[in-house]
Amino acid sequence: MPKGIKSTEVISTLTLNCIKHNFVEFVDEYGYQDAVQKISELFSADWEKCKHEVMQWYDFEIEKIVGEIK
Structural domain including 11 reads 7-69
The Cα 52–Cα 67 span in angstroms is 21
Nearby residues of 35 by Cβ (< 8 Å), 6 or more positions away = 23, 26, 27, 29
Has residue 41 been placed in a domain?
yes
Has residue 2 been placed in a domain?
no
Has residue 35 been placed in a domain?
yes
Has residue 30 been placed in a domain?
yes
Has residue 1 been placed in a domain?
no
Q: Quick one: pLDDT at residue 61? A: 84
Q: Quick one: pLDDT at residue 3? A: 66
Chain segment 1-46, per-residue pLDDT in tens:
456 667 788 889 999 999 999 999 999 999 999 999 999 999 999 9
Q: Please tell me the pTM assigned to this model.
A: 0.78
Structural contact between residues 19 and 50, judged by C-beta atoms closer than 8 angstroms: yes
Total structural domains in the chain?
A: 1
